[in-house]
Structure 1
Amino acid sequence: MTDHTSHAIRLRSVSRRYGAGDSAVTALDGVSLDFPRGTFTAVMGPSGSGKSTLLQCAAGLDRPTSGSVVVGGTELTGLSERRLTLLRRERVGFVFQAFNLLPSLTAAQNVALPLRLAGRRPSRSRVREALARVGLADRAGHRPTELSGGQQQRVALARALITRPEVLFGDEPTGALDTRTGREVLALLRSMVDGEGQTVVMVTHDPVAASCADRVVFLVDGRPAGELTGAGADAIATRVTRLEAAPC
């Protein structure tokens, strides 16, 4: 018998189609994947392969057309919108490439936002703890325009972590950063997995970023196309190049 508690996320035969008839587009086509707790997984593949759709379905941001998504033992398929919203607020963290910080709020206020939206009053100590976790304890009173790109992304990370989520999802979280700053954010994610047992699932186009993960899952045309475990950037880049090579 499979131990369901050892997996933060389980996808079984997940498909996602948009539209109907001849114009229908299949973004995911019968995907079955497990994401073990306390691991760092990168998701890669050619443009249009379904990477972001996979992330959104796994995080409960989008509903699959068919199949099963289980997060921390909870089946998402039959949940009402209200219960799905509560699950996302309490058990899932999401970090976007564009940071999505509110410019009129300070770093501390941005970090506290998920708890306020949930009707909870965040304690100052909890907000300080989240900012300290990403190395920004001294930037609590700064607004986004007063922070570098890397600092803004770390505020976005702290905001995603304030609810202590079971899974942290990142959709190209280093895509808008320069190389050095991107590496700092990746090192932070890696340390959260190794030191705190956080589960991280990240979509990326960057083989170097993917090499920070425990494993890399590849998608092509909405289907899994193999994976690599503990691979370096060169091996990952070679696999991506093969997947992207169009037949003559």
Structure 2
Amino acid sequence: MRLHAVRKVHGTGENAVTALDGITHDFPSGTLTAIMGPSGSGKSTLLHCAAGLDRPTSGRVELAGHDLTTLDEVRLTKLRRDRIGFVFQAFNLVESLTAAQNVELPARFARRRLPAAQVTAALDAVGLADRARHRPGQLSGGQQQRVALARALATRPAVLFADEPTGALDTTTGRHVLHLLRTLVDQHGRTTVMVTHDPAAAAVADTVLLLKDGRLTESLTLHPGRLAANTATIAGRMAQLEVA
């Protein structure tokens, strides 16, 4: 995936606000990238434009061999459905459905059926194959987030986007989810882009992009396995951004 000179401006004339100001970055396949920055820096806007949820004002977003900015709504919707996975802070599970039924729900909305083996494989990838028949109310918060992750993985997307995936979880459960994201990248080659405000969450990434005022100020390359050192480095850079 690649972003080239991506700009996003809200409003016009004197009321125009630049949310993204010429972002260019390559996201190599099979890597985990964290996006961080102060409030209002453009983190969520960047994720939404990269994932095809919002259209940039100018620039290109290249994903799975397509320039998302040139696709009409029908083709863009199909690409999001077939090649992009989403995980959000809210689990967005249907309480009346089992874990397996929640995993296959997006395909049903698209009038397709996922093979049972594909649903099972997605749940197995997040360690919940034995919870396939459980409903959300029978699962912990961390398990519910893992079902949401299995749902995002079920169609085998080219890129997985995660927006504050541990924001609604306690520290211990959040660590388990982050370990799972890291495992999916390392063992399954799942390209992942994650927005987070937490330096400890970002520390599991390969690269951290720091934004401020819609601009990419720095790209940090992290050291695998050195979580404490990575966390300290990220926290220090974030502190500098917030006072600059």
Report the TM range for the smaller structure's normalisation: over 0.9
Within a 5 Å distance, the mapping from 1:1-248 to structure 2 comes to: 9-230=1-222, 232-246=230-244
SS in 1 for 2:182: helix
**Code of the aligned partner of 2:237:** R
**Code of the aligned partner of 2:177:** V
**Code of the aligned partner of 1:188:** L
**Residues in 2 aligned to 1:225 and 1:160: alpha-carbon distance in whole angstroms:** 30
SS in 2 for 1:36: coil
Q: Mind listing any 5+ residue stretches in structure 1 that lack a counterpart?
A: 1-8
Stretches (4+) displaced over 3 A: none
Q: CA deviation at 1:132?
A: 0.9
SS in 2 for 1:102: coil
SS in 2 for 1:236: helix
**Code of the aligned partner of 2:240:** R
**Residues in 1 aligned to 2:106 and 2:92: alpha-carbon distance in whole angstroms:** 13
**Code of the aligned partner of 1:55:** L
**Code of the aligned partner of 1:67:** G
Q: CA deviation at 1:38?
A: 0.5
Query: 1:114–1:163: 8 Å Cα contact kept in structure 2?
Result: no
Q: Percent identity?
A: 66
TM-score, normalised to structure 1's length?
A: 0.94
**Residues in 2 aligned to 1:245 and 1:216: alpha-carbon distance in whole angstroms:** 19
Aligned to 1:4: none
Query: 1:29–1:222: 8 Å Cα contact kept in structure 2?
Result: yes
**Residues in 2 aligned to 1:78 and 1:230: alpha-carbon distance in whole angstroms:** 34
TM-score, normalised to structure 2's length?
A: 0.95
Q: CA deviation at 1:118?
A: 2.2
